[in-house]
Amino acid sequence: MEKYPYRKSGIGDSSPYVPIISAQIYDAMPTIEELEAEERQNRAKRRREDRKFNRAIAIILIFTLVGAPLLGTGVGMGVSLANSYFLPRLLNDAAQRENFAFDNVHTPQTPVGAFESPLLHRQNYVDLVNAVKPSVVTVSVRMPAVGGMLGQLQARTRAGTGIIMYETTSRYYIATNAHVIAGAAEVGISIEGSADIPAIPVGRYDDADLAIIAIYKADAIQAGVYSVVLARFGDSMQSQVGEIVLAIGNAMGEGITVTNGIISALDIVIYVEGLTLDVLQTNAAINRGNSGGPLVNVFGEVIGINTARIAEQLAEGMGYAIPSHVAKPILERIMHEGPAARRPTIGVTIDTEAPTDAGIMVFNVDPGSPAHMAGMQRGDIITHIDGLPINYFEEMVAFMETRSMGDVATFTINRNAEILEKTMTLGEYHRPRF
């Protein structure tokens, strides 16, 4: 008998098919009410979803129409603020300072207004002042507080003037006198009546009474100053006695004022507070606060930096300015070297009136100075420096201008007809205080 592969116990062989019984589950048909309720729920759900979609679209439209421009403005303001305030403070303009030179920055200026005419009229002065005045700033110096009556601290202030001479990516550089900022706790400048802008020191050259301070452009913008006018420096070697000049400055700390006069003398040597200065003399009124301001010619060029005046009843109309041909190389050195810019010294005072056949006579030797340490004495006559003949004090100054701190120089001196050589290191020393 044929066997089937699938057999269930109890099922005879005669039945080849196995009946399969399957169970089926049927859903009951929904009623009309249930269908309507479901439809209502679906409609409510679609309405909620539509409202969410519409709100999303509205938000997108509002952002597009209003938010995006505001965001653009905000980004623009942020970029502007970063460019004008934060970034300039981080930028190093040392390379731009290294490239500074008056010959590279300032071009010759043509005469202002009708100054081509030999006849000077009132309008000529107006044009000249309007051309130069924007480059002149007031300098306000706050000195360290000192004890007053009843132990109270009293603040001291000093007024001066400055000349805007250079501009870099991040700063404006201003020339002034060293004595204006000496010992200052804080220095502020004002440009054409602006609020005070904090200044930072760049360098001082005390022996020539010159200094440079700087302000950040960011701080100038905060004070409402968005651009400046740079002064034009001329060549004082071309100046002549009798030439008309104007002195512009912060006289008595009352703001920028102007006085006129002429050049009274050239190549004058004066002694002010231990300094020997080569100056121009002018009868243009120079008052307290004018220090650091420009003496300008009729071409609007700075030919001098006002520095001192004679304050005696027997002397009137005697003001002094550092000639531009002396000031420019020193200012360039300060820009390049910063606080290290100093004319080296040996610590002697020269008697410019002493008669000598050749050389210059030493009037005084400062204790502790290089000259003192080398054995130089009062009455010695300096005839040569490094083999170069020295017949005038100005020649010694010119030699020092070509040397740096730490250089070694040999001075040939005549001491009572005996020729001696004194080798010394040029540099600074601590002046005694009395």
Which residues are designated catalytic? 179, 209, 291
Locate 22 and state its tokens.
Answer: 């399957």
Q: Say if CB 331 and CB 211 are below 8 A apart.
A: no
Q: Say if CB 291 and CB 160 are below 8 A apart.
A: yes
Q: Which of 212, 213, 179, 202 is nearest to 327 (CA)?
A: 212
| Half-sphere exposure in the Cβ direction for 325 (13 Å, CA) | 11
Q: Which of 404, 434, 425, 276 is nearest to 350 (CA)?
A: 276
Q: Which of 305, 297, 299 is nearest to 263 (CA)?
A: 297
Q: At which residue do the structure tokens 């606080």 appear?
A: 339
Q: Which of 309, 317, 397 is nearest to 350 (CA)?
A: 397
| Distance, CA of 109 to chain centre | 24
Q: Which of 147, 189, 395 is nearest to 292 (CA)?
A: 189
Q: What radius of gyration do the chain's Cα atoms show?
A: 42
For residue 326, what are the CA distances in angstroms to 127, 232, 319, 378, 386? Answer: 28, 15, 17, 28, 23
Q: Which of 302, 303, 299, 246 is nearest to 111 (CA)?
A: 299
3-state SS track over 211-262:
EEEEEEHHHHHHCCCCCCCCCEECCHHHCCCCCEEEEEECHHHCCCEEEEEE
Phi/psi for 91 (5° steps) reads -75, 140
